[in-house]
Each structure stands twice: as structure tokens, then as C-alpha cells.
Amino acid sequence: MNDKTFPPLWADAVQAGFPSPAEHYIERELDLNDFLASNRDAVYYVRVAGESMIGANIFPGDILCVDRSLDFFDGAIIVASIDGGFTVKYLRKNGNRTYFEPANANFKPIYFTPGQDVRFWGVVTGVVRKINYAQQRRHINEPQLPATQVISNNNPGIRLNGTREKYQEKLGGK
């Protein structure tokens, strides 16, 4: 293992519905290779171009984690080459016929023909996506804290109700 420091991974999930009053704490540092890859020596990352997999939540610009050590199976999203051109699609098998299926109705399945050079390069095990906010974004100020709430002098706007101090302590290794 190298000496790189990885960002922390919270042990509690962030609520996508109603906010949770649960106290958050650090589970461990997050290394995306450990999270996405079952076999680091067999993993590579590739950037997506095109829209054939948007129905599988894979968009242009996303980065795919691809594992070459996994077995291929019906329904796996794989990276493959067809006559030297690379693609990412669902791998499908129907009877004796194997083909690639896009996740966008605007694209047709790719059926293999005799003489084609088709090579499977690995199974997609994860997607990394950076959120790119528009240049026209408008800043919104945080809600004002009640007068009885204590605010940290070091971090204006940080509520000192115990949760964030514990988070800061765990980040600092205390």
C-alpha cells in the first residue's frame, strides 16, 4: 500500500429523503480502488464517450472502473472492442446468440457476424461522476442560526452541537 491519504467515508448513509438526526462518524478512509475493484491488479479506468448507456445511468464523461479478472455473464455491463473500436454495453446471450445491448432506445443492439474481431476487455464494476455545475449558478446563503446556537470562531456557520466537532476530531485523527 502506498502512503497516500484518502478522503474519509462516513459510516452513516446520507438521507436522500428526510434528513436523519443520526450522528455521523467516520467509518474509514475511502480508496475508490478498494471500493470499486475486487482485484486491483486487474482493474483499469476508462472515460465514457457517447450516450448508448444513459438508461444504465452511464453518461458521457463518466469514468468506469473495469475489472478484467471477473467472469463475463448475461446482463453484465462490459467494455469490449469490435473490429478495433471500443464500446460499453450490456452483454446478452439469447440461445446460441451473444450480442451487445445498449441502454438507450435510440441505439440498436450489436449482433456479432462471422469474421468480426470481438474482444471482451472487462466487466464494469463502478461509475465515477463529477458534478459540473453551470457557470450561471447563483449563490444561496446558509440559513441563519438561532441566537442561542454557538458558532465556532474557526469555522463560521458550523454548528457546535457535538456532531461536527466529533467529525472534525475524527478527520484530525484525535
Is 130 a residue of the active site?
no
Is 89 a residue of the active site?
yes
Residue in 115, 85, 84, 120 with CA at minimum distance from that of residue 99: 120
- Among candidate residues 52, 69, 108, 170, the one labeled active-site is 52
Alpha-carbon distance values, 147 to 109, 151, 155, 159, 171 (Å) = 62, 10, 17, 12, 28
Residue in 164, 165, 170 with CA at minimum distance from that of residue 26: 170
Q: What angle do CA 158, 162, 163 make, to 5 degrees?
A: 75
Within 10 Å of residue 81's Cβ, how many Cβ atoms? Answer: 13
Q: What is the CA radius of gyration of the chain?
A: 23
Residue 47 identity (one-letter amino acid):
R
Task: List, in sequence order, the alpha helices (H) in 8-138.
Answer: 32-36
- Among candidate residues 81, 89, 108, 166, the one labeled active-site is 89
Give yes or no for a contact between 25 and 166, defined as CB atoms under 8 angstroms apart: yes
Q: How far is CA 47 from the centre of its chain?
A: 12
Annotated catalytic residues are 52, 89
